[in-house]
Structure 1
């Protein structure tokens, strides 16, 4: 049998990363866990990779992502000495055709778990506003279909309905419907004959629907798929001249990165959103500065985090009303952002206090899913402080409402309860919560 030759390209990247083989293996394992794969690679596996043995095909993207996160730049298959994927050299799909292909993957439940659906890339190339504004490729209009304001209104109304379903029941229910609507209705509209003004309005409306579908993918834990939707949304926003949605999507991408614990990419995206903002109303400043504060805190930039948080506080105080404003940033949202900043900076007690402020300030416009997510965070941080009974009480309320929601993020939070409470199994209250959470997890 022919002995594999050493992979010089991968060896160079390994040296540049400054990792031991054990650290390399651990980085790949962590990304596997993030994607839902239980990997147990150790030093001998990395030794084999460096000496020419190829990782399994499903693991190669994880190796590339681990290196990209370490080196803060995209890493290609060829740069790592891996064979190119089939079809990798094909011409990139147009914006509309790419959107159709993306949506079809989500329409078919049997294909929604394909490789890469959950793989978040920190080195994703984000198109800047000058790169996308008004530059959507020329579309050959369908002479047999023409659209007007009624079609735009229908897509906007359907987007609102899908958003309500997502908030009430979770992304797992709503995302296949959103994808089907994108493929079967919205994509044909994007190719239909229309006036220039109508075409731009349809692209803008489609951009926000695309963003919403990506948000649903985040909720389900399909982070790579979410990024694909987000980039399509940026392209459509730029093509329609919709600066506001473009800014909103960048902030959403920062939220995604922050929730996954990637501080540096979160800062980059939050700052890009702030720089791209077409307006400086108090509510918009708060909307952006609150996310910048969280991102800076995760990146360890304490001074910038506190400065941005103070800016968000001033802006919220200046805003007269949240009605009709973009993003809906409120005092309750600010309290949540403050909690995240405090926790990232090591102030667990302050984080719990701010979460209590958040729940005190919530109103009827706040959704059940976010309430359950934030309640789970509160329970985890109460336990972190050593307040076992308070944590169990909070988790009990989460478990009361859990059967009615279908959210991947909440699923993960509930599934983690037994391991978090494992050291307290001798306590009858903790044991009861463990048993409830295990029963609830098989819903």
Structure 2
């Protein structure tokens, strides 16, 4: 198709979606916002696409995802008639082909290659990949995909090393944000870890695969913290595949629950609830901390679906499991009283009890471990936002002082977005002394971050 040849493929997809050009443009803008792209496409742009003009490759990928979400099935860039990625390796990265160790190797290789990074960073978050048929009730997710592995060879020492590195990376992540640690995690995965897995494929212990799966899950969370949502999804799917390969139901449940949190944060509530339900259903015998994490997230998605009674029941389950947790850790699936209080606040917010949510958020900030600077900053910002919403502007201005103390230490797109939202919420109250002073502080932090 030349630049002057009409695009019947895109026209057919618009008809299937029952969309006008303006609706497609708005949907592309919305998907772009998930990637941190400020797009302002309108009907005229789509008219040019229909006439044969082709957008940049990353925009055609956004258009395909927008149409897929509307139609309810995967849509490739080729189907849109717009320019897409042509390299098989790059197409695999965008589609998220799940091939366990091979996919991890390819993904980390691309993530550490400056020439491939421009393609990878524009990977789009695909909602269709959250509801794949093999995740249904008829096919349990966590069935071992192999015969029992040998009890000798590569395994326990390397697994313990990966577990220790995961703890170290997680400790840095929660204190300083994903922007400070993500590249180091990927470099470690691309180097030692994938070398072990490729070189000793036949003698890799399940414990090592489980440890790697959790580290890959952490890498995904760091990506989402930097608003690299499509890339985060790629790591999450690889992590889930590794958990499936070694048959570790607890790790698989943690990954599914992490994916649920990610989907929920992006506003994909139905998919988030499906993932949270699946995580609880597939968990098997798990540690009490893990069970608390799973039920806490399921409480949030259940409340978002309108089931207040069910949400409160899951919160009680989370509380019971947490009371029986006698260990602390740092990594995917970590759960403690501050997290429980935050989940309680989200449930109360979803059910309309903003004053109750404010009290729960205060409790969450109070119990937040000193090392978890990012969580404390995000929770504090959310508390201030709700206080503004119910008219407690002076209280919100005072609350935001805690956010300002933590902000300079953090390299996190989520925290930066929280700062921008606080400024927007406080702006109408600039004539109030406390709000004016806080807005000035937030402006200083914004300028420092931009320098």
User: What's the TM-score bracket when you normalise by the shorter of the two chains?
Assistant: 0.7 to 0.9
Q: Aligned equivalents of 1:394 and 1:134: distance in 2?
A: 49
The 2-side partners of 1:161 and 1:99 are apart by: 21
Paired residues of 2:174 and 2:371 also in contact (CA < 8 A): no
Q: In the superposition, relative to structure 1, how do residues 40 and 115 fare at CA in structure 2: closer, same or farther (>3 Å)? A: farther
- Whether contact under 8 Å (1:107, 1:177) holds in the other structure is no
> Where do 1:189-268 residues align within 5 Å?
189-193=196-200, 196=203, 198-268=204-274
1:193-225 Cα offsets, whole Å, 9 max, x none, are 3774x5322211111111111111111111111
Per the TM alignment, residue 83 of structure 1 is displaced from its structure 2 partner at its CA by 4.4
Q: Which runs of 5+ in 2 are unaligned?
A: 148-152
1:264-301 per-residue CA deviation (whole Å, 9 max, x = no partner) reads 11112112212211127765544223212322333xx2
Say which SS state the counterpart of residue 54 (structure 1) adopts: coil
Instruction: State the Cα deviation string for residues 390-419 of structure 1 (Å, max 9, x = none).
Output: 111111221122111222211221133332
> Is the 8 Å Cα contact of residues 368 and 376 (structure 2) preserved in structure 1?
no
CA 339–199 in structure 1, closer or farther in 2 if over 3 Å, else same: same
Q: Which position in structure 1 is the counterpart of 2:411? A: 406
How far apart, CA to CA, are the structure 2 residues paired with 1:280 and 1:236?
18
Q: How many angstroms apart in 2 are the aligned matches of 1:270 and 1:399? A: 33
Q: Distance in 2 between matches of 1:430 and 1:404?
A: 23
Q: Deviations over 1:236-282 (max 9, x none)?
A: 11111211111100000000011111111111211221221112776
- The 1:23–1:306 alpha-carbon spacing in structure 2 relative to 1, beyond 3 Å, is farther
- Structure 2 CA distance, aligned partners of 1:308 and 1:31? 29
SS at match of 2:73: coil
Per the alignment, residue 142 of structure 1 pairs with none
Is this contact kept in 2: 1:255–1:266, CA < 8 A? yes
SS in 1 for 2:75: coil
Task: Verify: 1:420 aligned to 2:415, yes or no.
Answer: no
Q: Deviations over 1:160-197 (max 9, x none)?
A: 1111111111111111111111111011111233774x
Which residue of 2 is the match for residue 87 of structure 1? 87
Does 2:126 match 1:121? Answer: yes
Q: Aligned residues, how many? A: 433
1:339 corresponds to 2:342: no
The CA deviation at 1:65 is 1.6
CA distance in 2, matches of 1:239, 1:318: 28
Q: Is the 8 A contact 2:174 2:374 kept in 1?
A: yes
Farther-moved stretch of structure 1 (253-262 vs 95-104): 95-104
CA-CA distance at 1:33 after TM superposition: 2.0
Q: 1:72–1:122: 8 Å Cα contact kept in structure 2?
A: no
The answer (yes or no) to whether the contact 1:270–1:288 under 8 Å persists in 2 is: yes
236 and 317 in structure 1: CA distance in 2 versus 1, 3 angstrom threshold = closer
The SS at the match of 1:75 is: coil
**Which range is displaced more, 400-409 or 10-19?**
10-19
Pair 1:391-2:396 in alignment: yes
Tell me how far apart the structure 1 counterparts of residues 201 and 20 of structure 2 sit (CA, whole Å): 59
**Matches of 1:365 and 1:413, distance apart in 2:** 20
String of CA shifts for 1:409-431, please: whole Å, max 9, x gaps: 11221133332222222333322
Contact 1:287-1:327 within 8 A present in 2 as well: yes
Q: Which residue of 2 aligns with 1:376?
A: 381
SS of corresponding position for 1:41:
coil
Q: Do structure 1's residue 306 and structure 2's residue 323 form an aligned pair? A: no
CA contact (8 A) 2:426 2:435 kept: yes
Aligned residue for 1:43?
A: 43
- Mapped to 2, the partners of 1:223 and 1:316 lie a distance apart of 30
Report what 2:71 is aligned to: 71
Alignment TM-score, normalising by the size of structure 2 = 0.86
Cα displacement (A) at 1:372: 0.8
Q: Distance in 1 between matches of 2:116 and 2:399?
A: 37
Whole-angstrom distance in 2 between the partners of 1:157 and 1:247: 21
Partner of 1:302, secondary structure, is: coil
Partner of 1:208, secondary structure, is helix
CA change 1:370–1:111 in 2 (3 A) is farther
Alignment-derived partner of residue 150 in structure 2:
none
